[in-house]
A = this chain, B = another copy of it.
Amino acid sequence: MSEVFDALKFDERGLVAAVAQQHDTGEVLMLAWMNREAIAETLASGQACYFSRSRNRLWRKGESSGQTQRLVELRIDCDGDAVLLLVDQTGVACHTGRRSCFYTAVQDGGLVEIAAPVVASETLYGN
């Protein structure tokens, strides 16, 4: 594992950017952040674990919603400040109930919603 951490350059907050991609379809699901502990836990457990900047703690993806991400492969970029997680997403990645967090497109200078929720947010998190 030391080889992995040697290849990573954590920023002043101790974080690297993490892109989650559905391993078979190539869909980019979300962008989150990982600290050393999140990287270690993800590799050890085989389930994506991020660091939540808003909650300032580890965020085991799906801990509330059940929408977990099984790790297929973790890749590191050339300068070590970003990782790509190839995952198998259970259900949806976005807290809005959409498959991907990137559901807003810029078209003709304005915003267009290009994906609808496939599950209600209340179903994921209760009322």
Contact yes or no, A28 B31, CB < 8 A: no
Which B residue's beta carbon lies closest to that of A96? B78
Q: Which residues of chain A from 75 to 98 have any CB-CB distance to chain B below 8 Å in the complex?
A: 75-79, 81-84, 94-96, 98
How many of A's residues come within 8 Å of B, CB to CB? 40
| Complex-state Cα separation, A25 to B27, whole angstroms | 10
Are A4 and B109 in contact, with the CB atoms below 8 A? Answer: yes
Complex interface bits, A2-19 against B, C-beta within 8 A gives 1, otherwise 0: 011001000000000101
Q: Does A73 contact B (CB under 8 A)?
A: yes
With A21-B28, A27-B26 already in contact, the answer to whether A1 and B104 are too (CB < 8 A) is: no
Residues in chain B near residue A76, CB distance under 8 A: 102, 104-106, 111
Which residues on the B side are within 8 Å of A73 (C-beta)?
A: 105-107
New A-B pairs, 13, CB < 8 Å, besides A17-B31, A26-B27, A75-B104: A7-B104, A7-B111, A19-B28, A21-B26, A28-B84, A43-B109, A73-B105, A75-B102, A75-B106, A75-B114, A77-B102, A77-B104, A78-B103
